Amino acid sequence: MPTIEVDFDVFKALTARRSTEDVTENDVLRQLLRLPPRSSPIVTSDSPGPDDWVTKGVRLPVGTELRAMYKGQTYLARVSSGALVYDGKRFIVPRGGDEYHAQSS
């Protein structure tokens, strides 16, 4: 699904127009743009998929991109096959562990 960037004030205004938690920001934009309601709702699941990366109770769906700055350098990683992949290396977190370990291919 495509993403768009909005500033904080726009996001705040969209959020304020949501009448309930079931109304998404997409629903608000469709209403403002006078588009018909979406015929099939966007399906979201609270249960992790087989390729999602779950760590410390947080689920990141497969394909999620992560970006971090460290000492002026940008690092990019992506969730793939149940792990975080950075620079060709897969990082997993053992159950109950707090340390990240590179997994050999």
Please tell me the pTM assigned to this model.
0.46
Q: Are 70 and 83 in contact (CB under 8 A)?
A: no
pLDDT for 52 equals 86
**Among 77, 50, 76, 80, which residue's Cα sits nearest to residue 63?**
80
pLDDT for 91 equals 84
In sequence order, what E strands does the chain have? 53-55, 58-60, 65-70, 73-80, 83-86, 89-92, 101-103
Is the model's pLDDT at 5 over the cut of 80?
A: yes
pLDDT tens-digit series, residues 22-78: 888 999 999 999 999 877 655 566 677 788 888 777 888 888 999 999 999 999 999
